[in-house]
Every structure is written in structure tokens, then in C-alpha cells.
Amino acid sequence: MTAKPMIGADILVESLVRHGVEVVFAYPGGASMPIHQALTRYRQKIRTVLPRHEQGGGFMAHGYARSIGRVGVCMATSGPGATNFVTCLADAKMDSVPVIAITGQVSTPVIGTDAFQETPIVETCRAITKHHYLIQRTEDITRIMNEAFHVATTGRPGPIIIDVPKDVQLKSVVPDFDAPMNLPGYRPYRRATRAELQRVLEAIRKSRKPIIYGGGGLVLSGASAVLREFATRCSIPVALTVHGLGAFPADHYLCLHMLGMHGTVYANYAINEADLLLALGVRFDDRVTGKLSEFAKHGRIVHIDIDPSELNKNKVADVAIFGDVKDALIDLNSMLSEPENADLTSGGRYAEWFAQIDEWREKEPLTYEDRDDAILPQYAIQRLHQILKQRGRLEQTIITTGVGQHQMWAAQYFPFNQPRHWITSGGLGTMGFGLPAALGAQVAHPLKTVIDIDGDGSFLMNIQELACAHTEKLPVKILLLNNQHLGMVVQWEDRFFEGNRAHTYLGAGLDREPYPDFVTIARGFKVAARQIHEKADLDSALEEMLDAQEPYLLDVLVPYQEHVLPMIPSGMTVRDIIKR
């Protein structure tokens, strides 16, 4: 305990430093000014990145956290500044992202009086955060900060909101940075028992058609290496959710790539026919399961997850294990080395199963009908991947996306062999996510290539962050697949509403000229930009984009008639899959 008094704002920032925070994404306002003044006093220890909208700052914190595996910190003022974090916090809750949002609040004497820029942000965010605090005493700041970092990063990660009244920021007290936490009943960690894991091995022993259904929990727990060991030793194929991509190498024979609504046909067929589903770090999301009663109905289910509330929530498991998935796989790998389990790693156990999977892979690969007269989005993504591979940059590239067709095409046609190289909004599906998330990832990894694959509708929602890219000298690249439409909604209109267009055209006028002029907008922000529409220009444009030492926008005009396929319609089953 130090004998030196400090004001609350300095105590808060000093707490951030002591928790290893190196950067905050913060937009100032009246109720948070003392914190920002404190940040200027700590500028040698903490970098403050100024977004151009609080939501942009929140998603920068997402990109930072998900790319580096540490807490992302964002700040805003009270009222509208705080409410602009709501979508970011809901997104972080759905996708298990450790984000701490710090908001200024009106002084404690006027809380509840509808004071200027007052909102009850803790009440507003109660259901969309893992935990929440309204600090009412300056003396409590250190304890609350200790608790916030602990809760955000342990168990199933998630967002925390800390609301700090202005008078609490200004009051001077002697801080205790070692203040003990007060979290009765919070026990986020459990290691699966040997008896529980023995049931898993017995299920594998009885299986003839097993499959691993792997999710984002594998990435969050750092389980990629042990998953690969487990899957290869047991010769079990792996299908991944959109957040699981990269947890198992896409170029591995056992990888069936993404499953679910826009997953590969062979992954969905395998899930449907498997007699054992090993569900690791997943939550049986409806975009994966479709009609829940029909999902994986032919086999037994083993479900391992760090969040006990997910067990038996959507799908009842035959073996439900509350525990850290990395440690469970470590222990399973150890058990596989025991003589009595040697049969589980013997070759050829699943020869018939793999013969069937290989037949599906050969007959139903991911494919599209390429064209010479236009740049198809799938082709543009494939060429980006191939050029990066030729340059030897794949392992040094992070991809973010907005939400829509471009997101699913990126998941399908840009394979990932490593975790934390793929950052997208999954559970909430938030348009406008891609650019700010890319900026956050670039801050975390200044020497890596960070590319936002985006769509014009999604990109427009946080386009103002081009200013942040320029002023902060963050050389992110934006591959904008511009079809002038809300592409995914258009696809649903075509498939289920007889092609009736209900406000999904984003252009202007009858001439169908590209609108807006993204190149002019980007250059107005002093960001380099180029537009192309000829297929012959694509490679040179991609090379130019990748060579740029500054932020760069490549506006690629693509046809709006393309659909993301395959597709299992919402609430339907594998039998209803649309392939063409």
C-alpha cells in the first residue's frame, strides 16, 4: 500500500498499467475528461488511440483482444458515448471476447435526476455483459479493477463495463493496488476428471463414424496444438464453426472445414451421419444446427465446455463435461499413451468412414462458376490468399471481415492454418465490425499484414475510422467487395421472396453507377485507394494494395447476383441443403 494520495482517475489508469495494458481505445467527453487527463500523464506507458466513434473504439478493442489473446480496453463518456458501446458489448458477450469498457458517468449526487448526458448504462448493459460495476467510492477502484480483469479473462471470457462517476474520478485517496477481490461463488475453472474423460474414450472405442465439432472455445483456451495431436492420434475428422476456423489446420487431411448454414457439404453430411459427435468448445448455435431436433440425431454426443450453462442447453449430451477444453485434451492425449488405450490410436479403425467422407469431398467440393467478364468475390478472395501464400506472408496475415456475403465467402475461400488470424462477428453478426477490428489487430501486431475483407454496406457503417487509420499510421488494407447491395439480404430475397427487392439496393439513380465514390471518400481521409472492375486488373491491384506501407482501400466492383452456397435455410436440415 502506497502512502501517496492519488485522484481516482490516476488510480484507474495506474491500475491499467499494473494489469499490463499497453493501449486503450478512448473517445473523450465531459464525464470522462479526468481519465483522459490522467492518460496524458501516463502517455509513456499507455498508448491512447482516438477512434472517430465510440462503437469504432469498442470494435478496435475486439480486434486487439482476439488477435493477441489479452484484454481489450475501450473508454467513452457518459450518455450517448456509453450507449454507443452497447452493440460492442453485446457482440463481445456473444463471441466471448475479453473487453473492458470504461465509461464516465455524471457525479454521484445527481445520478438518477436525468442530468445532462446521464444514462443508466449499467442497467442498460446488465444482460449483455459478463459483469458490471458502477463505482460509487474512489476507494473501491483498485478492487474493482482487479476483479474486472480476473472475470474478463477467466472461465468463458467476456465483456465488463465499469461506470465511473466524475466525482469518483476527482476525489483523492491513498490507493491499495493489492486490494483483495470480493467474488464469492465465482469459480470459473474446472479440470475434467479422469472418470469423465474415460467415458469419452469409451465412446470413441465404440464409434465407427466419429467427428469432432470444434468451436471458438478451442481458440480461446489455446487448445489448437493439443487438438491437432488428439485428432491425428485418433484419426478423427474435424469440422469447425466460424469462430473455430484456424483452431485446426485447414490444409490437414482430417479438416472438413466449416460446418453449418454456409459450411461445406461434406462437413454437414459427416455431422449428419456420424455416430459420435465430440463437441469441443461450442454452444450448438442455430447457424450450425439448423433444425435442432434433426442435428446429429444419429449419434451420441460428448460436449466439453468451460461454461456449464451451455451444457444440455440446446442439445442434450450423452456425456456433458464442465471443464477447460485445453486441459481436457491434454489429459486425453496422456490417457491415449496408456497401454490399455493403444487400440484407439491404431491405424485403419475408420477406413470405411473416411472412404465415405472422401467420396463426399470429391463429389461436393466448394465451387463456383467463374466468369471472364466480371470479378467474382470468391475469385478475389482466392487470389488474395494465393498471392499472400506466394509471398510467404500467410502466417503473418490477419483477416477481419464485416458481416454479410463477403464474410461467408472469406470463411469458405481463405483457409486458415493458425488460430487468431481470423476475426469476425459471429453470434451478433454486427455490420461495421471489419475496419475497426482490423485497426485494433494492427495496433496489437504492427509488423503483420492486417486485411479487412468487407462489403460496401458493412463498410459504410464505420467508414469514419479511415481517419483513425491515417492519423494513427495503421497500414490496414481494405479489400472492398462492392456489389452495391445488401448482398445477404438480396440472396434471401431471391431464394425466399421471389426476388422482390425491399430496400436492399445501396446505389443511387437509375444509371446504376457505383455509389458512393469510395475512392474519393478514402482520399478525403488521406487514405490511398483504387477502384477496379476488370478481372485482368485484379492481381496487379492486389499486389499494389499489399505493397502499400500505409492504409489502402481497394474497391472491387463485383456482381450482386452471386449467392453464398452451399446454404442450409434457417431452421432446416442437411436434407434441405441448397448447392446450386
Catalytically active residues, by annotation: 54, 116-117, 166, 488
Residue 248 CB contacts under 8 Å (≥ 6 apart), including other chains: 212, 214, 218, 224, 227, 228, 231, 238, 240, 254, 255
**Neighbour-count burial for 411-437, b at 16+ CB within 10 Å, e otherwise:** bbbbbbbbbbbbbbbbbbbbbbbbbbb
CA-wise closest residue to 17 among 42, 37, 49, 40: 42
Cα–Cα distance measured from residue 374 to residue 241, given in angstroms and rounded to the nearest whole number: 31
Instruction: Please give the grid coordinates belonging to residue 201.
Output: 474414450
Helix (H) or strand (E) holding 161: strand 160-165
Residue 13 CB contacts under 8 Å (≥ 6 apart), including other chains: 35, 38, 39, 41, 42, 46
Strand, coil or helix: what is 173?
A: strand
Neighbours of 511 (CB within 10 A): 7
Decide if 345 contacts 234 (C-beta within 8 A).
yes
Give the strands of the sheet with 72-76, arranged side by side: 47-49, 23-26, 72-76, 99-105, 160-165, 131-134
Cα–Cα distance measured from residue 520 to residue 414, given in angstroms and rounded to the nearest whole number: 29
**Terminal CA-to-CA distance of the chain, rounded, Å?**
67
**DSSP notation for 188-241:** ------HHHHHHHHHHHHH-SSEEEEE-HHHHHTT-HHHHHHHHHHHT--EEE-
**AA letter at 76:** A
